[in-house]
């Protein structure tokens, strides 16, 4: 059978990325231009600055990717693009680039939901086995998604307010840690002790999450201690926060596995890089005899390899866009 090469483009937040993936599973080349250093000074991503930098970078990133792969557009079968959700100005840059290339080189245009991309990052390392549960934990999402077959998504639950990654970043900010704070909180948590008492989020029967109460509790605690002139033990607070956040995610995941006869759990999104979460999810899967897949660290945060991989399976599912494709800042995965 002829091999299929998908060129993927991702620009939904602060990474400009292009990748070429063979048959949805094999990485040929990936280029990621990260803007972390630019946004660090502001403590978070500034949307207007992000889109301006995507404009600056995108043609170089695509060119470099083709050069690294030693390919031209003649070798490419289709172009996969993140159309949403994300920052609208950032998304627009990628979508317009993909539409232009699709028109010039007469290649099919495959629209990819950003979360489908995070899920399919796993197909670059292992075969997805159904029925599958995807735990999506990123800066913008905390969701439990069930899949009975390729490119079929059923949302079981999600966050009612803040995403877990966003909560990590806010906690990091109040602890004076640099953006992106998730990895720094994770590192501190491993040398601290769980000495602060923090509220357990959403105690209910659903698969939903709520992290804003936990976030506010940490922020209030820090402000109160500062006003009293008490020193904050950052590593202990990081450990206390991480323990509550991780156990909330693990508990809801356990319930979803039990009730849905799940055989394969995949974890996706930037927070999948979290060491504390990895350890607890591994324990859970051993205990429940469920096969577990984590993307390697390089595919956890935003990248175009996951978009090109998802694009392959989206194309097989018959999904195709025309030049009227528009970016969407919010959109349900379906
Ligand atoms: O998936 P991603 O790159 O972007 C979105 O689609 O949102 O995820 C970025 C998020 C940030 O909030 C970052 O702080 C968090 O992932 N993150 C982590 C870790 N590494 C990245 N959070 C906790 N622990 C980590 N080790
Ligand atoms: Zn992402």
Listed by start position, the domains of the chain span 5-120+299-316, 130-294
Average pLDDT, the chain: 95
Q: Mean pLDDT throughout 279-287?
A: 97
Whether 84 lines ligand 1, by a CB cut-off of 6 Å, is no
- The helices-and-strands tally (H runs, E runs) of the chain is 11, 10
Q: Do domains 5-120+299-316 and 130-294 have the same CATH topology?
A: yes
Q: In which region does residue 83 sit, left (phi positive, over 0), alpha (psi from -120 to 50) or beta (all else)?
A: alpha
pLDDT more than 70, % of the chain? 100
> pLDDT: is 248 or 140 the higher one?
248
Distance 198 CA to ligand 1 centre (A): 22
pTM for the model stands at 0.92
Q: Note the pLDDT tens digit of each residue in 149-165.
A: 999 999 999 999 999 99
End-to-end CA distance of the chain: 29
Q: What is the pLDDT of residue 292?
A: 96
Q: What is the CATH number assigned to the segment(s) 5-120+299-316?
A: 3.30.420.40
Distance 140 CA to ligand 2 centre (A): 7
Whether 274 lines ligand 1, by a CB cut-off of 6 Å, is yes
User: Quick check: 184 pLDDT over 90?
Assistant: yes
Closest ligand (CA of 298) = 1
Q: Which residue, among 239, 243, 248, has the nearest Cα to 185 in the 3D structure?
A: 239
Q: Note the pLDDT tens digit of each residue in 40-91.
A: 888 778 888 889 999 999 999 999 999 999 999 999 999 999 999 999 999 9
Distance 223 CA to ligand 2 centre (A): 31
Residues in the chain: 334
Q: Mean pLDDT throughout 241-260?
A: 96
Top CATH class, 130-294: alpha beta
């Amino acid at each position: 059978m002829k091999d299929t090469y998908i060129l993927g483009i991702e620009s939904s937040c602060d990474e400009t990325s292009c990748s070429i993936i063979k048959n949805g599973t094999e990485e040929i080349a990936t280029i990621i231009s990260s803007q972390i250093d630019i946004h660090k000074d502001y403590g978070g991503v500034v949307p207007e600055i992000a889109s301006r930098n995507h404009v600056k970078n995108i043609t170089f990133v695509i060119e470099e990717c083709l050069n690294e792969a030693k390919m031209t557009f003649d070798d490419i079968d289709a172009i996969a693009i993140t159309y949403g959700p994300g920052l609208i100005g950032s998304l627009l840059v990628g979508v317009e680039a993909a539409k232009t290339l699709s028109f010039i080189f007469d290649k099919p245009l495959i629209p990819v939901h950003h979360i489908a991309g995070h899920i399919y990052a796993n197909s670059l390392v292992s075969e997805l086995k159904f029925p599958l549960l995807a735990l999506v934990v990123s800066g913008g999402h905390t969701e439990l998604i069930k899949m009975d077959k390729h490119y079929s998504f059923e949302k079981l639950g999600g966050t009612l307010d803040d995403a877990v990654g966003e909560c990590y970043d806010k906690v990091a900010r109040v602890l004076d840690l640099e953006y992106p704070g998730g990895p720094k909180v994770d590192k501190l948590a491993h040398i601290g002790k769980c000495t602060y008492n923090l509220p357990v989020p959403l105690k209910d029967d659903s698969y939903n999450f709520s992290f804003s109460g936990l976030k506010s509790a940490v922020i209030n605690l820090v402000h109160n201690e500062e006003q009293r002139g008490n020193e904050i033990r950052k590593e202990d607070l990081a450990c206390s926060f991480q323990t509550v956040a991780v156990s909330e995610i693990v508990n809801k995941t356990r319930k979803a596995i039990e009730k849905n006869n799940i055989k394969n759990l995949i974890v996706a999104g930037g927070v999948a890089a979290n060491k504390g979460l990895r350890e607890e999810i591994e324990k859970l899967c051993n205990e429940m005899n469920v096969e577990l897949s984590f993307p390697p660290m390089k595919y956890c945060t935003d990248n175009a390899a996951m978009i090109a991989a998802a694009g392959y399976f989206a194309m097989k599912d018959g999904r195709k866009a025309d030049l009227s494709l528009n970016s969407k800042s919010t959109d349900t995965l379906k």
